[in-house]
């Protein structure tokens, strides 16, 4: 299957470089280019790309607001947004993740990492470079005061869905969550999808942000095993 990619960056030279890298790969097709966020949102409506590589700092509508609009367009499947940044400890990256970006890449990333990231995003792997993403979230999250074991924001979830969210927030893949909870990987994916629907979240990354912001998972907290296995 061909992955359709939209490039959004205010610098034509950057867009040209990205196009050359991506279109040299089999199965990747750059279907459009946007010089600002507003154009990117409009092209997403018209072209329905699978993945958007979105620069954060653009004139007019910036990458954060454009990401928020793209992930709220209302059609399915929505494009997966991967934001591009000059440095990874940028508050705007965190804001973009909260707005629904799948993940982020720095602009000096190696070409093979870029290509792999686009393929992973298109395949629905919503958390790129989980360790790096986790560090970014921990740096900027505003911690709530200590409260009950299950924060109010997560009340719609079952106990098992909370277990899955806690482990996903720690950077575990679906396969690793399945191993930890003694579940099938397809079952973990079903729990994750139901969790996203109940909480009206766009993707796994937004769920990780919520896990930290609600206090379910705390920065620097040691990893702990979830309660008993094989609970539905």
Query: Residues 135, 156: one domain?
Result: no
Q: Are residues 20 and 76 in the same domain?
A: yes
Q: Kindly list the distances between the CA atom of residue 220 and the CA atoms of 31, 110, 136, 217, in Å, as whole numbers in the listed order.
A: 42, 29, 12, 9
Q: What is the pLDDT of residues 4-52, one digit of tens each?
A: 999 999 999 999 999 999 999 999 999 999 999 999 999 999 999 999 9
Give the pLDDT confidence score for residue 225 in this predicted structure: 46
Reduce the secondary structure of 33-96 to three states and give it as a string. EECCHHHHHHHHHHHCCCEEEEECCCCCCCHHHHHHHHCCCCCCCCCEEEEEECCCCCHHHHHH
CATH of residue 113: 3.40.50.2300
The band of 147, judged by pLDDT with boundaries at 50, 70 and 90, is low
pLDDT for residue 196 is more than 70: yes
Q: Is residue 144 part of a domain?
A: no
pLDDT bucket at 123, cuts 50 / 70 / 90: confident
Overall number of domains in the chain: 2
Mean pLDDT of the chain: 86
38 and 112 share a domain?
yes
Q: At what angle do helices 159-169 and 174-181 cross, to 10 degrees?
A: 130
Taking only the tens place, the pLDDT of each residue in 162-195 is 999 999 888 888 899 999 999 999 999 999 999 9
Question: Measured between alpha carbons, how far is residue 224 from residues 12, 33, 78, 175 in Å?
Answer: 47, 45, 34, 17
In a domain? residue 146: no
Task: Give the CATH number, domain containing residue 176.
Answer: 1.10.10.10
Co-location of 120 and 182 in the same domain: no
In a domain, 57, yes or no: yes
């Amino acid at each position: 299957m061909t992955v359709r990619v939209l490039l959004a960056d205010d610098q034509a030279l950057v867009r040209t470089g990205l196009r050359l890298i991506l279109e040299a790969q089999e199965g990747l097709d750059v279907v459009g280019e946007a010089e600002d966020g507003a154009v990117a949102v409009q092209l997403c409506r018209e072209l329905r790309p699978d993945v958007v590589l979105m620069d954060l700092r653009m004139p007019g509508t910036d990458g954060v607001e454009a990401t928020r609009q793209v992930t709220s367009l209302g059609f399915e499947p929505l494009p997966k947004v991967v934001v591009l940044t000059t440095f990874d400890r940028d508050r705007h990256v965190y804001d973009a993740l909260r707005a629904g970006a799948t993940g982020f890449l720095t602009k000096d990333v190696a070409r093979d990492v870029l290509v792999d990231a686009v393929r992973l995003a298109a395949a629905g792997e919503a958390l790129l470079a989980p360790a790096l993403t986790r560090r970014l979230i921990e740096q900027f999250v505003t911690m709530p005061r200590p409260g009950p074991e299950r924060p109010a924001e997560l009340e719609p979830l079952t106990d098992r869905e909370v277990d899955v969210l806690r482990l996903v927030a720690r950077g575990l893949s679906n396969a690793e969550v399945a191993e930890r909870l003694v579940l099938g990987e397809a079952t973990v994916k079903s729990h994750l999808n139901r969790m996203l629907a109940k909480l009206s979240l766009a993707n796994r990354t937004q769920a990780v942000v919520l896990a930290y912001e609600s206090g379910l998972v705390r920065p620097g907290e040691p990893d702990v095993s979830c309660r008993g296995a094989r609970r539905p």
